[in-house]
Amino acid sequence: MNLKRYLPVLQWAPQYDRSQATSDLVAALIVTVMLIPQSLAYALLAGLPPQIGLYASILPLVIYAIFGTSRTLSVGPVAVASLMTAAALAPLAEAGTTEYVAGAVVLAVMSGIMLTVMGVLRLGFLANFLSHPVISGFITASGIVIAASQLKHIFGIQASGQNLLTIGQSLIQSMGEANIPTLFIGTGALLFLTFARKQLKPLLIHSGVGARSADIITKTAPILAVLVTTLVAWQLRLDTQGVRLVGVVPSGLPELTMPSLDWELWQQLAVSALLISVVGFVESVSVGQTLAAKRRQRIDPDQELIGLGAANLGSGFSGGMPVTGGFSRSVVNFDAGAETPAAGAYTAVGIALATLCLTPAIAYLPQATLAATIIVAVATLIDLPALGRTWRYSRTDFGAMLATIVLTLVHSVEAGIVAGVALSIGLFLYRTSRPHSAVVGRVPGTEHFRNVLRHDVELCPKVIFLRVDESLYFANARFLEETVMDLAIDGPELKHLVLVCPAVNLVDASALESLEAINVRLKDAGVRLHLSEVKGPVMDRLKSTEFLSHLGGELFLSTYEAWQTLTDRKAPLEEPV
């Protein structure tokens, strides 16, 4: 067994030098400052005690540094996975209770097991069933639901719900109980973070600050919001005025935790764990590949499954929540100059120190500040213009995207993603069940053949060239039979029909039977069936059958060869018997 494949740390650690260590330490310091409020915020979003977010940002980062293949991916709690965690646990227990926390640990462990098994079996390709429009629609809808779910903390009211309809109804009913000091803090933090994200960097650059320094200062703006609002809450004793604070956060490192072995609980969470695993993997690989390409590096999707699986197992066994690669953190890690996964391990040390030393101060942190942090972070996930772009390009993809958005908003995140995947697969089967095909003719004076409906081409009434632009399998085999026979019926002078197959990468058993049926029916109608431009792997499969020995016509290397043979030959072909 190649250890370097399963332990990528062995690929970069032997060449690790002081220069790389310096770059990684600088990046880790910046990411640590960013990750502390994010970890607290995403735990709050998941309905978990704030320390759970910190726990999920320590051991998983160290483990991913050992098993992950991305040099700059930053693993930890993320918004979408936190929302899916809350949606999975809400029907089972009240948020924040011991049972609820135990459920989050089980979700992390189950996700870790599923991802690791998928990685060992090299099943990374399964993520391809989540099309980009479905993922885009799901993330957009999730961003809207996440932002709406945090408004209760901005207004300081009680509200609940797992979709936009129930959250909106609950917010409207409780709006009269809004807490004014909380509203001031939440709105102030929201405005400041929005300003920092959109205007602070240009303002700093205009003031003479370097572009990279301005970018780093902008990314650490949430820390300033946390510091200021925490000091204000502490000095003014805002907790006595109804402002909800994070409260006492236990200091100390996480202890090793055994997940609940309640089989019924595992069964109830199995589907949610699978969805969290797949969505998290797709998000991580997308981010990892994008950043790796910028440095002409590569990642191994199957090994990423193992890396993310091991990270989730580490999170679960240390009392954390499901984790995956975060977009914003990874970009900051990349821009800050991280060169190896060691930057993640150094970040884990920083979070561990914060867990040991900073938790007393966190007690006075207003929940409204964390809510503002979440809203501003997920605002970048919402891409409603993508609906228009997808509509203009592909109505079927738009349908899958819209269904994902609507069901996520009005029902649940699970329903949205399942419906999107099911609809994408269904639409794919529908499209490929009616493959594009075209009667082609020779472009005068060339060896090229083009669609007779699009180009002025040469034709021969005794020969039809039918180009098939799809692999042939069970779903479209019957459609091909009908198309060929319609051409035979509509061509009284027809003597030869050539299937032009440059786009056919597969002929399954059902399609082979259809080809045999077409061959027999054309023979009975006095027409020979020929094949041209058949790919090598397809030809190898056909040679292992009796089809070629029964073929009424010939095999041609090129369509032009078939044209010359069937239209210019002097001796007539024998009539089929």
Residue 1 pLDDT: 52
> What is the three-class DSSP state of 528?
strand
DSSP 14: G
Q: From 327, 361, 391, give the residue that closes a domain.
A: 391
Q: Is residue 7 part of a domain?
A: no
Q: Is residue 61 part of a domain?
A: yes
pLDDT tens readout for residues 485-532? 999 988 888 999 999 999 999 999 999 999 999 999 999 999 999 999
Quote the domain boundaries for residue 533. 437-568
Q: What residue has token string 């440095």?
A: 295
Mean pLDDT by 10-residue block, N- to C-terminus, for the chain (577 residues)? 79 89 88 86 91 94 94 91 91 91 96 94 78 84 90 90 88 91 94 89 86 78 89 92 88 89 93 91 84 83 93 96 88 83 94 90 90 87 90 88 91 83 81 88 92 92 93 91 91 92 93 94 93 94 93 94 78 42
CATH number of the domain within which 486 lies: 3.30.750.24
In a shared domain, residues 161 and 222: yes
What phi, psi does 520 have (nearest 5°)?
Answer: -65, -45
Q: Is residue 398 part of a domain?
A: no
CA 373 – CA 191 distance, rounded (Å): 11
CA 400 – CA 379 distance, rounded (Å): 22
Q: From 391, 425, 458, give the residue that closes a domain.
A: 391
In a shared domain, residues 333 and 482: no
Residue 55 pLDDT: 95
Q: From 372, 391, 410, give the residue that closes a domain.
A: 391
Name the pTM for this structure.
Answer: 0.80
Sign of CA dihedral 57, 58, 60, 61: positive
CA 413 – CA 142 distance, rounded (Å): 7
The percent of residues above 90 in pLDDT, for the chain, comes to 55
From residue 179, how far is each of 22, 41, 51, 82, 367 by CA, in Å?
47, 20, 26, 26, 13
pLDDT averaged over every residue in the chain? 89
From residue 90, how far is each of 47, 95, 101, 230, 405 by CA, in Å?
9, 7, 11, 29, 21
In a shared domain, residues 188 and 304: yes
CA 285 – CA 271 distance, rounded (Å): 21
In a shared domain, residues 450 and 379: no
Domain count, the chain: 2
In a shared domain, residues 456 and 366: no
